[in-house]
Structure formats: C-alpha cells, structure tokens
C-alpha cells in the first residue's frame, strides 16, 4: 500500500546569505490537502523558506522533500509546484489575459481561452481581462498572480503575502479559491501578516522567529498552549455581572467600563463564567478575545513587547 | 512508509522560452516604435534628401544620393554605425535582463522555466531577433527609398569605378551584413551590461557608451593594429567593398574581431547570469567581482587581437603611407576622369591609356608624408591618346585616421573645378571636383 507523502518535509534546513543566517536548522512538516500558514516578524525567514519550497534556491544544510521528492539543487522542484514570492511576476505591457496566455504557452499547457477565462473568473478579474496590467492595483495583481498559479493546476501552491492590497471583495475571492483548492486536495502554503486571514483560512500554522521554528501545528493546539488570554465580555446587566465576574474562579478582571469588561482567563474558566451568568439571568452579548489566539501567540513567541495579555 | 516519488518537472524548451521573450519584447511600446521607425524613417529620409540640391557631402556616398538609389542605404549605414545601431542595441539587448529586475519578475520566470541556462539562451536569441529586424528594416527601407527616389543606377565606388546597379545592390547588402557583426558585439556587450548592473541604468547605457568610446578611439591616430582590434572597425571596413578589387583583408579581420567580441561578451554574460543567486534580495547585479570578471577578459581580448594583428600583418604605424595615398588618388582620378569624359560626351579613354600617377606631399613637404591630416597635396598627371602633353591637376586631401579622405580639386578648373555636367539622373557636379576615397590601412590587396 502506498502512503501519501507529506507535501513538504524539511529537516534541519539552514540557509545563509553571507553572514546573515536566514534559516537556522528548521524542521517542517506540511500535510497534503490543507492550508498551512507561515507567520513571523519581518526578517524571520518566511520568504527564504517559501523560496526553498519553490526551489529558487537550495538549503546550505538539511534535507528537503517536496511532494515526496528530495530537492537537492535549484529549480528542481517536482511538477505541480506553483506560486510566487515577493509578489506575483507580471508584465505590465501585457493585458491580464495576455499574461496568462503567454504563461500557458510557455509551459506548453492548456492555452484555450476557456481555461484562461475560468481562472480569471475564479479570482474575479473577468471584467478587466483585456486591460493592461500596468493600470492594475496591488490587489488586482495579487489576484492575477494567483490566477497564473491556478493555470498549472498545482498540487502545492506557495504564496507569499497573497492578501496584500486586497479589498474585501478581492479577499473573499481569494479565500474562496484557496478553500476550494484545499478541499480539492491541493496543499497551500502561504505567508501573511494578517492574523485574521490566517485564522480564517489555515488548518495549521508555523511561526518563525529569527530563522527558527517557534511553533508548528494546528491552530487549536496553539490556543491550548497559549494560556490565559484577554477577552472582552459584554452582558445585558453590567452592574449585576461585575461582582460575579470578579468572584469567579480562574478569572481576573483586567479592566472594565460601564458597558463591558476585559477578563483574563483560560477557556474552561470562561465556560464556567458564562454558565454562572446565565444562571443569574444575565445574558452574554459578547465574549471574544481582545487579541486573536494566533496573534497573541505570535506576539508572545516572537517576544514582541505588546503581547496581548 | 512508502513514499510516492514525483518526477522533477522538466525545464521549458528553449523554443517556448524564445517565443515568450519575443511576446514580451514586442509588447513594449518602445520596441514597436523602433520597429516602425526603422522600417519607415530611412526610406523617408533617403527619398527626401535624394530630391534636394544640397546633399550630405560630408557623409560617405552622400554626394551620389541624387545620382543613384544605392547611395542612400550606404549613407544610412554610415549614420547607423555611428549613432543608430549602438542606441538600438542599448534599448534591446541592454534591457532584456534588466527589465526583469525592474519588474521584479525573475522568480516568476525561474519557477516557470526552471532553467537559468534556457532563460539566458531564449533572451539572447530574442534580443538578437529584434536587433536583426531593426537592422534589416533600416537596410531595406533605405534601399527602397533610394531606388524609388533616384532610381537603380550605377554607383561610383570609393576608387571611382562604376558599379553596375546589380553589383551595387549586392555590395550594399554585403555591407549591411558585415555591419551586423559589430552590431552583434554591441548587443553582446548590452547583454553583459544588463546582467552586470541589473536594474541600474548603466546596463542600458553600456552599448552606447562603449560605442561612443570606440568611435572616439577611431578618431585618434592609433597604430593600425590597435585600430583593427577594436570591435567597431567593421563599421568602417565595409568601405572596402566599394573598391576594385575589394579590400577584403581589413573587412574580414574586422568582422572576425567583432564576432570574437560578440562570443566572448555573450559567454561572460552567460557565466555571470547562471551564477547569480536570485534569492538574495540584496543583489540584483553582479557586484564588483562580477564587474571585474566581465570587463577584464574583454580588455585581454583587445590586447591579444592587437598583438596578433601586429605580428600577422605587415602594417605598421598609422597604415597611411605616401605610396598608398598616391596610388589611391591616381586610381580614383583615372576612374572618375573616364566617368567625366562620358558625361561630357568626349571620346572614351581607358584607365590604362590615361596611366594616371600622383605625386603627393604633406605639409608642403616639410613633414614626413605619413599619417592622417588635411595638409596632403597631390599633383595628378595623365596622358591622353594622341596628345603628347601631360595633363596635370592638383588636389588638396583631408585624410582621416581611419584612411578615408576627401580630395578637393584645386585646378585647373576645366578639369577639377566646380561645374555642372548633364547626366541621365539630371545635372550633377563635375565628378572630378570633389571625391571621396580611402587608403587601405593594411596592404592586403593590389590595386
């Protein structure tokens, strides 16, 4: 019986640029058919790692397998790997359609207009298909870059900051496309600074800091490991709720005003608090993290001073 | 666990990469403007100038523009070698790699093509194709404009002998083909600059700067071996196609040198390109070491070529000596005398019957008769059948360091003064009044 290999399997990957250590012995496993987020502060090594996945470069040390194939030299990634780093590569003197047609012809793949129209429609660029890319906004370029990657029907899609410059409609298109790809079995590895995007999209995340992996795994595991978080609590009767909140076990009242409180607690303590409030006839109108679990973990693990707790 | 191995994706074939590069190049408005300009402007220029009474006599073959349509493309060739071709190669080859840096598309291209070698070959071939289209346009356009405006008539060569229209057409074509060699050299220098400097404008400017430096060098009184070792000499050496016999030695050496530069500069650009680290965000060009690697071999080639030419050919000094000047002036005079006789409806006389000779001095005999200068003075003597007296005429010569000269008639005015003669193409100045000629810097042909 054949096992499905990991989409990405990295062991001890180190990459240096002169004296600068961009990646320092990282291990990474990306399971096939999901969306894997890559986060980290500027200079953490995200783009370098994505470049290795596209085999634009090779690691100085360590072993990297992509779609089950060891990658030992530059530009030797297996077929089915697509994506972009540092923004999509587009030619401004060509229209969106011409960019895709030229790329399709280059790869010797499907040059049919229908296929190109399909991917343009998927990313929401049908209306501007015959406009020159010179006039495109950053968000439109990002979507066209994604369309270019979709043309190849990838099995591993590597995207560097694909949400940059997207308006809400564009974001909806992109999220929809990525979700459908993942549902269809394509593995997506993407980097982003938008924690809300990552939480909405990703099943797993890897947090990089100064070239090292400080966390990798499912988002749920991150929340569980994250400890107490600040939550904003708004109830139907703040005055009555205040003594209950202050006296609840495992709950610390961080701050509050006439309408809402900020409480610091683990998830089980919060569950208990909600039950007690309900029992006293106080409705909970809002209970949400002040900072998302991913963002809090990011800030904590990467030692940002304004960690959200 | 058993892994499912996936085959490494194969690089894109060069033919597809070449088409992709052509699509990109021809999508740029500046390339499209250049193509239109190169295929239309020379025809318009030549046609308009050929109809004027005042011709560009300071340009080689300019004085013949309203006498024959084959002078027009040669005037264009002179202009192209000095200005147009360096600029065209700058815009095309000087930008073909740099444009990817400017647009930030290298990584995209690498992921798509999966081979730096194939990207290089595709880009080099695509820029070569565009340069060829531009050069061919200038040649064809200039010829069509000239022939339409002045007709396909005989062309007086640089030694005064008349070339039949068909022969002139072939030599015009050959001249443009020969000039493609130094154009390739400039194109390769453009590739090298584009690879070396990335998005910096220096890469774009390099062919034009190199061409300017080479043009200035050709104006200097360089030893002939060094002159021939410069990759731009073919821009001058094509003149030798318009003498009888053709001065093929310098032309072949010049073409060979140009091709040598083209090959070496392309190879250097290739080596630097395939060694480039496209993931290092701090580097888009080759850096100081790459600059050294790119420039030093070309300097070494120049020195080696000059050495080989100096050892393998008999030429020394400037290559412009008294005997060569006297022989050249006498030959041109004899051919043009025969042309003048025909235009004035006088009895035909052959060059052998004329037995023209020239006695030249430089600086009124006060300096050594050698090298370029505008102080050459020649007295041409000839004989006419059945007439005992010897005819003589005086010319002032301005010889430039590349061997070209303009001979200006200084009497007697009945022979080489200014007057109009009636020709099938209309009234023309007396062909013996002023004429262009050249001194072969290497003595490889007997004439």
pTM score of the predicted model: 0.86
Average pLDDT over residues A156-171: 88
| Min Cα separation A89/chain B (Å) | 4
User: What is the rounded average pLDDT for all residues in chain A?
Assistant: 86
The answer to whether B17 and B118 have CB atoms below 8 angstroms apart is yes
Q: Residue A133's pLDDT is what? A: 95
**Between residues 116 and 155 of chain A, which touch chain B (CB distance below 8 Å)?**
145, 148
Nearest CA in chain A to B17: A106
Q: Which helix (H) or strand (E) holds A83?
A: strand A81-84
**Contact in structure between B139 and B73 (CB atoms under 8 Å):** yes
Is there a contact between B279 and A75 if contact means CB atoms under 8 Å apart? no
Cβ distance B162 to B65 under 8 Å? no
Query: What residues are paired with A206 via a beta bridge?
Result: A38, A216
Any B CB within 8 A of A33 CB: no
Whole-number percent of chain B with pLDDT over 90 = 66
Confidence of residue B444 (pLDDT cuts 50, 70, 90): low
- Which of A48, A90, A105 is facing B16, going by the closest CB pair? A105
Closest-CA residue to B403 (of B239, B255, B242) = B239
**pLDDT, tens only, B153-199:** 999 999 999 999 999 999 999 999 999 999 999 999 999 998 888 87
Residue B1: pLDDT band (50, 70, 90) is very low
> Which tokens sit at B385?
């059948």
ipTM: 0.80
Taking CB atoms and an 8 Å cutoff, what residues of chain B touch A107? 12, 16, 112
Q: What is the pLDDT of residues A43-101, one digit of tens each?
A: 889 999 999 999 988 899 999 999 999 988 888 888 889 998 888 889 999 999 999 99
B17 chain-A contacts, CB cut-off 8 A: 106
Distance from CA of B30 to the nearest CA of A (A): 11
Residue A219: the pLDDT is 81
**Whole-number pLDDT of residue B331:** 96
Average pLDDT over residues A194-216: 88
- Contact of A3 with chain B, judged by CB distance below 8 Å, is answered with yes
Q: Is residue A199 helix, strand or coil?
A: helix
Per-residue pLDDT averaged across B332-355, rounded?
93
Q: Over the stretch A100-131, which tens digit does the pLDDT of each residue have?
A: 999 999 888 655 666 899 999 989 899 999 99
pLDDT number for residue B447: 43
pLDDT band at A1 (very low <50, low <70, confident <90, very high): very low
Ramachandran region of residue A245, left (φ > 0), alpha (ψ -120 to 50) or beta?
A: alpha
Residues B382, B337: Cα–Cα separation, whole Å:
10
- Measured between alpha carbons, how far is residue B310 from residues A153, B223, B232 in Å? 62, 9, 18
Distance between first and last Cα of chain A: 48
pLDDT greater at residue B364 or residue A301: B364
Query: How far does Cα A130 stand from its chain's mean position?
Result: 31
Most confidently modeled range among A132-136, A213-217, B386-390: A132-136
For A251-276, what is the mean pLDDT?
Answer: 83
């Amino acid at each position: 019986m054949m096992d499905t290999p990991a989409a990405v399997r990295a062991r001890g990957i180190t990459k240096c640029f002169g004296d600068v250590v961009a990646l320092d012995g990282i291990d990474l496993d990306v399971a096939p058919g999901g969306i894997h987020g890559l986060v980290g502060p500027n200079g953490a090594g995200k783009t370098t790692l994505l470049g290795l996945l596209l085999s634009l470069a090779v690691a100085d040390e360590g072993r990297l397998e992509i779609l089950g194939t060891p990658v030992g030299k530059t530009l030797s990634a297996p077929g089915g790997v697509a994506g972009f780093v540092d923004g999509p590569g587009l030619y401004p003197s060509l229209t969106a359609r011409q960019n895709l047609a030229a790329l399709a012809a280059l790869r010797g793949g499907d040059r049919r207009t229908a296929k190109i129209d399909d991917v343009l429609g998927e990313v929401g660029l049908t209306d501007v298909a015959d406009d020159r890319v010179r006039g495109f906004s950053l968000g439109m370029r990002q979507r066209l870059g994604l369309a270019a990657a979709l043309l190849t029907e990838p099995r591993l899609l590597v995207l560097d900051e694909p949400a940059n410059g997207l308006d809400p409609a564009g974001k909806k298109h992109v999220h929809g496309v990525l979700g459908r790809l993942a549902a269809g079995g394509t593995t997506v590895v993407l980097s982003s600074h938008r924690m809300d995007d990552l939480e909405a999209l990703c099943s797993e995340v890897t947090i990089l800091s100064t070239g090292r992996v400080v966390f990798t795994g499912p988002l749920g595991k991150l929340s569980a490991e994250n400890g107490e978080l600040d939550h904003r609590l708004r109830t139907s009767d703040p005055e009555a709720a205040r003594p209950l909140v202050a006296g609840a076990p495992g709950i610390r009242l961080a701050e509050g005003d006439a309408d809402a409180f900020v409480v610091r607690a683990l998830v089980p303590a919060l569950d208990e608090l909600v039950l007690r409030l309900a029992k006293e006839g106080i409705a909970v109108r809002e209970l949400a993290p002040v900072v998302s679990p991913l963002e809090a973990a990011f800030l904590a693990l990467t030692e940002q001073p304004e960690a959200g707790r | 666990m058993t892994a499912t191995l996936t085959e490494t994706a194969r690089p894109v074939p060069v033919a597809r990469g070449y088409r992709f590069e052509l699509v990109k190049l021809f999508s740029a408005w500046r390339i499209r403007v250049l193509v239109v300009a190169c295929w239309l402007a020379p025809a318009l220029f030549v046609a308009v100038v050929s109809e004027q009474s005042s011709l560009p006599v300071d340009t080689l073959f300019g004085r013949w523009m309203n006498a024959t349509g084959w002078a027009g493309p040669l005037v264009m060739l002179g202009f192209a070698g000095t200005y147009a071709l360096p600029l065209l190669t700058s815009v095309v080859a000087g930008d073909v790699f740099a444009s990817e840096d400017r647009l930030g598309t290298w990584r995209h291209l690498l992921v798509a093509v999966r081979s730096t070698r194939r990207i290089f070959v595709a880009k080099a071939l695509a820029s070569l194709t565009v340069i060829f289209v531009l050069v061919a346009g200038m040649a064809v356009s200039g010829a069509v404009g000239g022939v339409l405006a002045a007709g396909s008539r005989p062309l007086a060569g640089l030694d005064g002998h008349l070339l039949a229209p068909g022969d002139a057409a072939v030599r015009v074509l050959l001249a443009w083909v020969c000039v493609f060699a130094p154009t390739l050299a400039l194109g390769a220098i453009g590739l090298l600059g584009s690879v070396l400097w990335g998005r910096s404008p220096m890469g774009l400017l390099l062919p034009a700067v190199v061409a300017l430096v080479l043009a200035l060098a050709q104006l200097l009184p360089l030893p002939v071996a060094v002159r021939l070792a410069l990759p731009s000499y073919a821009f001058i050496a094509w003149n030798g196609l318009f003498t009888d016999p053709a001065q093929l030695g310098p032309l072949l050496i010049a073409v060979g040198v140009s091709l040598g530069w083209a090959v070496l500069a392309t190879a250097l650009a290739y080596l630097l390109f395939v060694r480039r680290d496209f993931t290092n965000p701090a580097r888009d060009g080759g850096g100081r070491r790459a600059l050294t690697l790119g420039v030093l071999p070309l300097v070494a080639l120049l020195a080696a070529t000059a050495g080989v030419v100096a050892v393998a050919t008999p030429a020394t000094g400037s290559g412009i000596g008294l005997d060569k000047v006297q022989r050249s002036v006498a030959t041109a005079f004899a051919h043009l005398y025969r042309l003048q006789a025909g235009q004035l409806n006088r009895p035909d006389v052959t060059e052998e019957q004329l037995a023209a000779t020239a006695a030249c001095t430089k600086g009124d005999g006060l300096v050594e008769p050698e090298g370029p200068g505008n102080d050459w003075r020649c007295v041409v003597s000839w004989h006419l059948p059945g007439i005992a007296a010897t005819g003589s005429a005086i010319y002032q010569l301005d010889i430039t360091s590349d061997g070209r000269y303009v001979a200006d008639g200084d009497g007697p005015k009945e022979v080489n003064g200014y007057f109009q003669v009636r020709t099938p193409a209309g009234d023309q100045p007396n062909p013996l009044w002023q004429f262009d000629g050249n001194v072969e810097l290497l003595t490889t042909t007997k004439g």
